[in-house]
Chains A and B, each alone.
Chain A
Amino acid sequence: MPIRCEIVSQDRRVYQGDADMVLLPGSEGVMGILPHHAPLLTTLKLGVITVRSGGNEEYFTIAGGMAEVQPDLITILADAAENVSEIDVERAQAARERAEEMLAKGVPPDTDAYLAVEAALRRSNLRLEAVRRFRKAGAKPARMTEESR
């Protein structure tokens, strides 16, 4: 029996579907959730969510949030999340350069601005890393053929 998985970010519904297993970047470490898991409430940190169903895997980057697990349902409330296949590489690249530039210019540390830039840098690094690692993985034949056309 699969487990239902729903990922919503603050501005939209990112994913909804049945899964055999979901890997979550919990704040205490990565955890794999299988169907019939005991009820669980956890905070999530920056990282990648893997949703495995059948032979297929889908990957999502998440910029923190929380997850609620019920035996038949995983609800992920993300501060921001997107499917790795939807990531705009050029935009992420530009964001990373912008953030690096600002850090190089020397933003005073321990200020809100510094933390914001640092968080932006971490997010764009995560996106680029996720694209590099998971897009070529070939686990999504449907999408690959679409791209090769």
Chain B
Amino acid sequence: MASAREMRMRIRSVKNISQVTRALEAVSASKVRKAVAAVQETRPYATKAWQVLTHVAGQPGRGTLHPLLTSRPEVRKTLVVVVSGDRGLAGAYNTNIIRFTAQHFDRYPNPVAYVAVGRKGRDMLLRRRKQVVAEFSNLPAAPSFANVSAIGRLAVDDFLKGEVDEVWLVYTDFVNMVRQEPVLKKLLPLEVDSHDRVEAYQAQHLNAAYIYEPEERQILDTIIPRFTALQVYQAILESLASEHAARMVAMRNATDNAIELADHLQLVYNKARQQGITNDLLDIAGGAEALARAMVQR
């Protein structure tokens, strides 16, 4: 049994922890609001850009339209861009995204290289002995498109140079404050994926090829890499919102737990203290009685 002094210190430290976690929760709460606003502002553009890309990709003869739209017959190497957080204390946020990535790519038939966005993700990938070819950490709290367009450019360049034959993007989609879901998206070569059923349907029915102005190659060269980078940007914004939301919930749970623990410790301490007083009283009473008996006998 710990001494009374030790218990008092323990209670105080638990209460201190609850104050720290409560402060972190408040910080995350304000950050999540800003992050969600940022996501929602850019979502229409990103969604529309993705739609246009899938329309382009769904055209007849897409195989020869542009190298970024062309599937390679043999996939020798895969690049995966994993978006995680720079910091921990966000509940299962970072673990979830890495576990999700591992589920998909650990038993992949060809070698997989990773681009880590976020320090935590990089650390965890390295611990799992993955090949991390590039790392982007310490992103600003509210990144602009210019801040992160290099990530998309890297993916496009590696793909065009033939160093990798496909590029995937893994990030956490912000659904709402308590729900964030890991998502896997194929960036390159661009395909109408089966999840976008409506898009796929539309694309199939738009059989007519586009008229291009200016000419096809020039316009595709401009928009495809740009829109690819934009998808990465949007993924990062979604992930940031998810990270802050996850941290907020984690910190709220931590605060609740700390308060509960402090209450419990306080109860144990009070009981121990009362027990001590009772024991002291018994000792005194016993001593007094023994003394009285001795007096009588004499």
Contact = CB atoms under 8 A, between A and B. Distances in A.
The answer to whether A binds B is yes
A6 B42 CA distance: 15
A39 interface: yes
Contact of B41 (A11, A42, A68, A70): A11
A75 B53 CA distance: 12
Interface in B156-211: 206, 208-211
Secondary structure class of chain A's binding surface, majority of residues: strand
Contact of B56 (A8, A38, A41): A41
Interface string B36-62: 000001101100110110011000000
Nearest to B144: A10
A66 B212 CA distance: 11
B210 A77 contact: no
B214 A39 contact: no
Contacts of A119: none
Interface string A121-145: 0000000000000000000000000
B92 interface: no
B64 interface: no
Contacts of B42: 10-11
Contacts of B206: 39, 70
B45 A10 contact: yes
Contact of A75 (B52, B212, B214, B222): B52
A77 B209 contact: no
B223 A8 contact: no
B208 A39 contact: yes
Given A10-B145, A66-B219, A70-B55, A39 B209 contact: yes
B74 interface: no
Counting chain B CB atoms within 10 Å of each CB, which of A13, A41, A43 scores highest? A41
Contacts of A9: 45
B219 A42 contact: yes
Contacts of B219: 41-43, 66
B210 A40 contact: yes
A27 B45 contact: no
Interface string B213-256: 11000010011000000000000000000000000000000000
A43 B214 contact: yes
Given A42-B219, A68-B55, A77 B49 contact: yes
A77 B48 contact: yes
A38 B208 CA distance: 8
Given A12-B41, A66-B219, A70-B55, A41 B48 contact: no
Nearest to B208: A39
A42 B212 contact: yes
Interface in A58-90: 66, 68, 70, 75, 77
Interface in B249-293: none
A42 B55 CA distance: 14
A26 B213 contact: yes
Contacts of B145: 10
B56 A12 contact: no
A39 B60 CA distance: 13
28 contacts: A11-B41, A11-B45, A12-B41, A31-B213, A38-B211, A39-B55, A39-B206, A39-B211, A40-B211, A41-B52, A41-B210, A41-B211, A41-B212, A41-B219, A41-B223, A42-B212, A42-B213, A42-B219, A43-B222, A66-B223, A68-B52, A68-B55, A70-B55, A70-B206, A75-B51, A77-B48, A77-B49, A77-B52
Smallest CB-CB A-B distances: 4 pairs: A42-B213, A13-B44, A40-B211, A68-B52
Given A41-B213, A43-B219, 18 more contacts: A8-B48, A9-B45, A10-B42, A11-B41, A26-B213, A27-B214, A28-B213, A28-B214, A38-B208, A39-B55, A39-B211, A41-B219, A41-B223, A42-B213, A43-B214, A66-B52, A70-B55, A75-B51
